[in-house]
Structure 1
Amino acid sequence: MLIIDKRSKSISQIISHAFVFGMVLLYYQTACAQNNLSATGTATAGSGGPIGNAADQAIDGNMETAWVSEKTKGTKWITVILPGATEIKEVHAFVETDLGKPVHHYAIQTLLNGSWRNHTLNASNQQKDIVVAFKKALLTDRIRLAIEDEGLVKVRELEIYGEQYIDSTATEVKKILVNQSGYNLDKPKRFTAPEVPDQTPFFIKDLITKEIVYRGTVQNGIGDFSGFNPLSDVAYIVTIDTLTSYPFRIGPFWLERVTYRNMVDFMTGARHYLGTTDKIRRLSWAWRDGDFFNWALQSLIAQFLSNPSAYKRMERKISYRPNDSFPPPYKDKWGSLAPYAEDAPDIVKLIHWDVDVKISQQLEHEHQKAELAHFLYAFPYLKQWLPQQNFDIVYAYLKEKWTKANVDKRSTSQYDKSPEHNLLSLKTKLGTTKGELPPGHTVIPNLMMFEVASKQGEPDADKYFNAAYRQMSWMIAHLDWHDSLSTKGQRMSEHMTMRAFAYFYHQYPDKRPEGLYDKIEEWAKVAIDRSDNMWDFRKFTKDGDWVPAGWNETGNVLGFPACALAAMSVIKNEALSNALNRLVWAHFDNAFGRNPTGRHFSYDGPTEIEGVDQGWYSAHHGGVGLLEPVRFVFDGSPKNNHYPNHPEIGNLGWTEGWVQFNTAFNISMAYLAHGEVAIFLTRSRKNSLSVRLRVPLNFDEQVVDEMNVVVRASNGDEVVLKLTEEGPYSKYMVGSVRYKKHKVKRNDKVLQAKKGDVITVSYGLGYFEKKAAITIKN
């Protein structure tokens, strides 16, 4: 129906209106005959006006309905989300103001790395019928129309035209998708077969002999062979009719076997100034392209505390390089800390490096200051290799800077979202999917400072605990786990939140804020609810996006196991814990090829990681980090459009390694080690005490591993006990000491142990320590 503007004062104006409307109808009828992709999409908008004028009315194919914005200043926008990645060639929009006039300022935008980027910008538009044709098709699954005009805006139709995107370089993907490298004994072992009907039999076969060693059936696209735990060095394949998977191995600690040395090598090569390049890079301090929120220091410390024997036994590859041996541009970039002992493990040298750069460059962003608290906390376990000067200078620095609210420009970058940098203040602002300001990032640092300051006899040490308690109480009351910004929306920094919950729960059992346990269990339920799919993959939203749109979210997949493992360490509900454990291993598997692309996240995976067959499509050349030559870079991961199963999309979206991705993996591996450790101390015979320790050390069935533990008596006496690998495929290290006349004897040392004394053995350090004890009764 033609509605004539009552302000029209001439027949010619009325005819003009009729002509425009007629052209609109002609345009609309023509458009409907084309392939309008909007009809297959969903619409969302940044503001809504009167009830009945929702966003979906701009894609309903009806010119008499419209999305109507609020009558406000600022950007008004409407987005159309398509079912999958499409090559967009043209956008048609019929847009007008509430006075029936054209809008003057609009932009057509697409999403890249979480930010909307303009592809067309028009600040002097004179048309209500807007047609934008792109010289080069835009590869995306969503288009946004952004309008800057003041007042009310109507979008009658927003139409998108293009073609389904298929990457001509995409290679064939296996129909059975496994962890290409291998699985750990006694852990969840699953694969995904997206196109296989339910109840179809599958078989695990010896790769060489083709003997069937296990069988099961596919359910909901998943095959589960967790019950298959062979003690052998054989490679296996999954077969379903004529389909086969890539071969894989199963070992006591297979994931640890193929990653531990690689993790340290990555951090060694990614160092700023001293790694695989000596170039000075922007956005970089201790690590190239590390920015201020890389969490590298705490990840390295967590690795060492969780499994010290594994890192102590590694080959030493790093040597100290003094700052004064470099040209003037490098002056004072590092060198304020006295050097480490040359026999220090490489991971301790990397810890020293990070701290030295922070102190030498006087970095004072709240994240950088908070990282240093981890060093002070861990110093007692590192001091055999580090001078006391290291502790003293860092402690004095933090006492001065902890509450400093402003930050010097040398300590920050354009990604800084912190309202201020006082670490005792309550933090209520959540970061974005960039990953720069995760909830609870001050909790563990403040609790660590409380412990350090208390040991130093500081009269005001309680201020740190009070700040952590106040922050935790706020999170319990205000974080909504159903809001993705509180969880997966924090990208590779999400682990900071749940780790804070678990740390407070375990370290301060008598001082926990009310509701702490329930909040952790609620998080677990939401995570499990979002993971009911054939990949066992925790989605961004339950019924919407799989991953944050437009992002290379690699670090979130790699860091999620740390979140789940931290929650599992608290949760008492066995069903919840078992479900989380499946997700832990599914996310590791996802990074190793059990995903819609069938590829490992690392481009160089096939040459650097034992057993990997298909690496990521490409590696980023150049970039801020210059990480291409570094070993064990996690380059990319499936994007939103690859899910639930679209391998034909191929190398879609942004690919670039980032230190933050690897540190997220590092922290997950630390929590995995802590979760694996178990200690058993028993009186095996009348005159003998036995120690049995489950610990991730048996990486090679051909090598007999040994390690030392300290057996302590409650009176302060102690003796070193050597433990030996129980068997070539065992997870346990074992050893025993003779007990005679109320004394424990080993290697000519005597541990005084009379009736009533408590004997203890522990493994892991600091907040990762686990302990077993026995009381001498006779």
Structure 2
Amino acid sequence: MNYCNKKVHFISIIWVVIITLFSNETKGQNNLSLMASTETNNGKNEQFSKNAIDGKQETSWTSSVSNEAAWLTVILPGATEVTQIKLLMGTSLDEPIKEFAIQTFLNGNWHNKEKFSDNEETKVTINFKQPILTDRLRLAVSGKIKANVHEFEIYGIEYVSKDATPVNKIVINQSGYNLGKPKRFTAPEVLDNTVFHIINTRTLKKEFQGKVNDHIGDFSDFNPLTSDSYKIVIDSFSSYPFKFGPYWLERVTYQNMVDFMRGARHYTGTTHEIRRLSWAWRDGDFFNWSLQSLVAQYLSNPKAYERLRKEINYIPNSAYANAYEGKWGALEPYHKDAPDIVKLIHWDADVKISQQLDHEHQKAELAHFLYAYPYLKEWLPKQNFDLVYAYLKNVWTKPSVKENSTTPYDNSPEHNLLALKTKLGTTKGELPPGHSIIPNLMMYEVTKKQGEVEAEKYFKAAYNQIEWLIQHIDWKDPMSTKGQRMSEHMTMRAFAYFYNQYPNRAPKGLVQKVEDWAKLMINRSNNMWDFRTYTDTGDWVPVGWNETGNILGFPACALAAKSIVKNVSLQNELDRLVWSHFDNAFGRNPTGRHFSYDAPTEIEGVDLGWYNAHHGGVGLLEPVRFVFDGSPKTNHYPNHPEIGNYGWTEGWVQHNTAFNLSMAYLAYDDTDIQLIKSKKKTISIRLKAPLNFNEHIIDKVDVIVKSSSGDSVIVSLKEENPYSKYLVGSVKYNKEKIDATDTTLQIKSKDTISVGYGLGYFEKQSHLTLD
């Protein structure tokens, strides 16, 4: 036997001894790895990575040498308090691995919990003084070496939180439900065919009966026209009380949404501090989508936002210390009587222009301002449009970004908004697919109106981008959907905008691509929570993230898709998901809690808020009203309330702007307007829009009726009854004129008249040709 063979033989004998000792020592202990799964970036026969957790020391997983250091992740079946790790490993020659780390995952990054730089052992035991709360651990090997892992053993106990509170057996939207919309609850421990009743809490009468199936109770057909409270009862269990209304969700959120944005302003909100990662909004970063969310809100339901409280007053930059010079003030002030939402739109644009921000997302946001300006000019000086327009014309194709316009989260390859965008963002949410489509189409419309000869270049860029998405985006890859977290809505909204605004110019395959998305989302939502999961099998939400904004923004995705798909069954299923995700945020989730810590004091009807609110943070959002703080993590699902306040909790502007956009698309989806001609020379106007928030207030709204010649009259509409979704009005007409309340509209035979509600891309119209 030569020296080399003797050495290998000796090492083999030593290794057998080590394996025997290791096996004897761990016998009888609870090795949690035996119930786990594995992932790795690097491995010879990678499918054998499970060998490292099979309880058999004679088997192993061996990495391969590459340009990337090897890692092996063990994923436990649930949240665990890990107290000890035992590793049996070495190099390909079974020599000790000198440099490696044990890591945990949080907010998109792996963090070292234990790091070894000069290890001399092949058998390593790590005891943690404080248990590590996690569901996955990673062995990260330093250097380009072959790692040979025989066993990666994890010891600990299933985590049960001290602050976990009992969850109601009947889990609902604690605030209330919109009349005529899907209404469901979850009862995780209730057997199929169990009868449930809905009881009026004032009269104690049973007013509805149904059965639980697959742990879900459906009472969509129950639409009581009353202000009474109700509760669901199953045997001896009952739900929290809740109410119904024509637009209950809108009733409890519209003012709150504006209040949040008012308080979260940088410099002038609830704190005057200058914060990092912030421009117009505290902790807003460059991808907060605030400006477009505010524009969408106003365009989708202008009368509702115009009637909200006015609490914002203009503060000139000169009123602040020198440190604030140039932070805002380039735009001339708005009219003092402007609605608060218009003042917030002005604020965002003013900060961007004043600081000359040129990140591609910041430039893109300003396109929404230009597009919306014609609908805001009653309150905003023409100088606002002119300055923003000149700036965007100058920087739209600028590929570089100034240091004052970006942060460490910037992954944009370049910032030319006419360029094809092929890079997929991370779960941080900073680079969603198709983010440049709507801004380019808006610039196309704006520049056309300005008589620009090169307007078509913006349309071409948008067309090329959506065509690329149709051909290349793989919906089955969660990083193209839920993996984009609170920015996911950007993609499907881009599809909807293109298709609905330019149906005759849309690329081939657009409708089918959206239908494919819808079917996949519905398939991933076939569970007791009607909750769209991260993957077909595996994690329910992106691991290690506070995905609050993703859930809040998903209704915008589903509603955008609904505006495209033709199949009625798909439309109905998407409706179910819209409301299940709103319900999830309002308590229909495994924790039984609303996403906002302060919800019980800020949102009508909510009984139980999130476990806690984050103290401090970049955004300093604690004093701001209507902060969405946290949401269930993947380990809470399908039903593990016992882990309590698990994972990261922190409010973020991006969570709220995702909700803002969902509410805008909800308003658009629910808006309908009709012109109806009767035999008595009367034209009736029926408007359905989210306006009737309070049964004790008679809602009125003015609409504009136009003739084909361009003349118009204002017609006042009034709600049909205290619980109606419709506002109605009528006018008389003859061969020559239409008589409105105070004015007359001249018409001719065969004239077409029209009426609409909503503005811009959110307007819905009705047309009628007269005899």
Q: TM-score range by the shorter chain?
A: over 0.9
Cα shift readout 1:469-520 (whole Å, capped 9, x = no counterpart): 1110110000000000000000000000000001000111111111101000
Is the 8 Å Cα contact of residues 294 and 341 (structure 2) preserved in structure 1? yes
Give the alignment partner of residue 728 of structure 1, picking from 703, 710, 722: 722
Q: 1:22 aligns with which of 17, 21, 24?
A: 17
Which has the higher mean CA deviation after the structures are superposed, 99-108 or 570-579? Answer: 99-108
Identify the residue that residue 348 of structure 2 maps to in structure 1. Answer: 354
Tell me the equivalent position of 1:293. Answer: 287
Say which of 52, 70, 78 aligns to 1:84: 78
Query: Who is 1:33 aligned against?
Result: 28
Distance, in Å, in 1 between the alignment partners of 2:597 and 2:121 is 48
Question: Letter of the aligned partner of 1:336 in structure 2?
Answer: A
1:182 and 2:179 matched = no
Could you tell me which amino acid in structure 2 is paired with residue 757 of structure 1? D
CA distance in 2, matches of 1:19, 1:106: 22
Shift of 1:48: 2.4
AA at the equivalent of 2:613: A
215, 219, 226: which one aligns with 1:221: 215
CA contact (8 A) 2:177 2:249 kept: yes
* Aligned residue identity for 1:390: N
Preserved contact between residue 426 and residue 471 of structure 1 (Cα < 8 Å) = yes
Secondary structure of 2:4's partner?
A: coil
CA distances 1:573-622 after superposition (whole Å, capped 9, x unpaired): 01111111000000000000000000000000000000000000000000
Of 644, 652, 672, 1:678 maps to 672
Q: What is residue 165 of structure 1 aligned with on the other side?
A: 159
Match of 1:124 in 2: 118
Query: Which position in structure 1 is the counterpart of 2:264?
Result: 270
Deviation at 1:178, TM superposition (A): 0.5
Shift of 1:16: 6.7
Task: Tell me, in whole angstroms, the C-alpha distance in 2 between the residues paired with 1:602 and 1:227.
Answer: 29
- 1:236-278 CA-to-partner distances (Å, cap 9, x unmatched) read 0000000100000011000000000000000000000000000
Give 2:255's aligned residue: 261
How far apart, CA to CA, are the structure 2 residues paired with 1:85 and 1:352? Answer: 45
Whether the aligned pair in 2 keeps the contact of 1:564 and 1:580 (CA below 8 Å) is yes
Instruction: Give the deviation of 1:687 after TM superposition.
Output: 2.0
The residue aligned with 1:366 is 360
Q: Distance in 2 between matches of 1:566 and 1:592?
A: 22
Q: What is residue 248 of structure 1 aligned with on the other side?
A: 242
The answer to whether the 8 A contact 1:108-1:120 is kept is yes
* Alpha-carbon distance between aligned partners in 1 of 2:277 and 2:690, rounded to the nearest angstrom: 35
Question: Does structure 2 retain, via aligned residues, the 8 Å contact 1:74–1:148?
Answer: no
CA distance in 2, matches of 1:21, 1:273: 67
Alpha-carbon distance in structure 2 between the residues aligned to 1:758 and 1:698: 30
Distance 2:3 2:386 in 1: 81
Alignment of 1:685-764 (within 5 A): 685-764=679-758
**Paired residue type of 2:665:** Y
Q: Offset of 1:129 from its aligned partner?
A: 1.2
Map 1:62-211 to 2 at 5 A.
62-211=56-205
Go from structure 1 to structure 2 and tell me whether the alpha carbon gap of 1:5 and 1:92 turns closer, same or farther (over 3 Å shift). farther
Partner of 1:390: 384
Deviation at 1:98, TM superposition (A): 1.4
Give yes or no for contact 1:601–1:615 (8 Å, CA) kept in 2.
yes
The AA in structure 2 aligned to 1:480 is D
Partner of 2:4: 7
TM-score (norm 2): 0.99
- Superposition pairs of residues 48-63 of structure 1, within 5 angstroms: 48-50=43-45, 54-63=48-57
Tell me the SS of whatever aligns to 1:576. Answer: helix
2:646 corresponds to 1:652: yes
Preserved contact between residue 69 and residue 145 of structure 2 (Cα < 8 Å): no
Provide the residue aligned with 1:454 in structure 2: 448
Matches within 5 A, 1:499-514: 499-514=493-508
Amino acid at match of 1:38: S
Who is 2:38 aligned against? 43
Find the counterpart in structure 1 of residue 315 from structure 2: 321
CA offsets per residue over residues 654-707 of structure 1, 9 Å max, x none?
100000000000000000000000011011342211100000000000000111
Q: Which moved more, 1:38-47 or 1:680-689?
A: 680-689
Aligned partner of 1:553: which letter? E
TM-score, length of structure 1 as denominator length: 0.98
1:439 corresponds to which letter in structure 2?
P
Runs of 4+ in 1 over 4 A off after TM superposition: 13-17
2 CA distance for matches of 1:142 and 1:469? 42
Aligned twin of 1:400: 394
Distance in 1 separating the partners of 2:327 and 2:610:
35
Taking only the aligned residue pairs, the percentage that are identical comes to 61
Q: SS at 1:7's partner residue?
A: helix
Q: Could you say if the C-alpha distance between residues 714 and 16 of structure 1 is closer, same or farther in structure 2, counting changes exceeding 3 Å?
A: closer
Shift of 1:9: 4.8
- Other-structure match for 1:607: 601
Distance, in Å, in 2 between the alignment partners of 1:179 and 1:102 is 55
Contact 2:34–2:54 at 8 Å: present in 1 too?
yes
Cα distance in 2 for partners of 1:710, 1:222 equals 45
User: What is residue 583 of structure 2 aligned with on the other side?
Assistant: 589
**1:103, 1:149 within 8 Å by CA — same for their partners in 2?**
no
CA distance in 2, matches of 1:227, 1:16: 73
Write the deviation string for residues 258-303 of structure 1: whole angstroms up to 9, x where unpaired: 0000000000000000000001000000000000000000000000
Which of 511, 523, 526 is residue 529 of structure 1 equivalent to? 523
Counterpart CA distance in 1 for 2:147 and 2:578 is: 47
For the 8 Å contact 2:441–2:458, the answer to whether it is kept is yes
Secondary structure of the residue that 1:155 maps to in structure 2? Answer: strand
Whether the aligned pair in 2 keeps the contact of 1:104 and 1:149 (CA below 8 Å) is no
| Corresponding residue to 1:566 among 560, 563, 585 | 560
What is the SS of the residue equivalent to 2:675?
strand
Q: Quick check: 1:494–1:560 contact (8 Å CA) kept in 2?
A: yes
SS of the aligned residue for 1:772 comes to strand
Per-residue deviation, residues 291-347 of structure 1 (Å, max 9, x unmatched): 000000000000000000001111211010000010000000000000000000000
Secondary structure in structure 2 of the residue aligned to 1:376: helix
CA gap 1:16/1:379 in 2 versus in 1, 3 angstroms: closer
- Deviation per CA, 1:530-551: give whole Å up to 9, x if none: 0000000000011100000000
Contact preservation (8 Å) 1:73, 1:151: no
Is this contact kept in 2: 1:427–1:440, CA < 8 A? Answer: yes
> Does the 8 Å CA contact 2:496/2:560 hold for their aligned counterparts?
yes
Pick which of 368-377 and 99-108 moved more: 99-108
User: Is the counterpart of residue 665 in structure 1 residue 674 in structure 2?
Assistant: no
Between the aligned partners of 2:96 and 2:416, the Cα distance in structure 1 is 49
2: CA distance, partners of 1:747 / 1:213:
43
Q: Distance in 2 between matches of 1:748 and 1:78?
A: 76
Shift of 1:17: 5.3
Quick check: 1:618–1:655 contact (8 Å CA) kept in 2? yes
Tell me if 1:429 matches 2:423.
yes
Letter in 2 for 1:491: R
Q: CA deviation at 1:5?
A: 10
Q: 2 CA distance for matches of 1:7 and 1:548?
A: 49
3-state SS in 2 of match to 1:188: coil
Query: Residue 59 of structure 2: SS of its match in structure 1?
Result: coil
2:337 aligns with 343
CA contact (8 A) 1:72 1:150 kept: yes
Q: Deviations over 1:59-97 (max 9, x none)?
A: 111112111212213221111111110000111111221
Q: Aligned partner of 1:734: which letter?
A: V
User: 1:765, 1:660 → 2: CA distance?
Assistant: 24
SS in structure 1 opposite 2:409?
coil
Contact 2:19-2:58 at 8 Å conserved across structures: no
**Map of 1:580 onto structure 2:** 574
SS of the equivalent of 1:334 reads coil
Aligned amino acid, residue 624 of structure 2: V
Q: Deviations over 1:625-659 (max 9, x none)?
A: 00000000000000011000001100001100000
The separation in 2 between residues aligned to 1:208 and 1:252, in whole angstroms, is: 20
Q: Which amino acid aligns with 2:757?
A: Y
- For structure 1, the residue ranges without an aligned partner over 5 or more in a row are none
Task: Give me the whole-angstrom Cα distance separating, in 2, the residues matched to 1:6 and 1:377.
Answer: 80
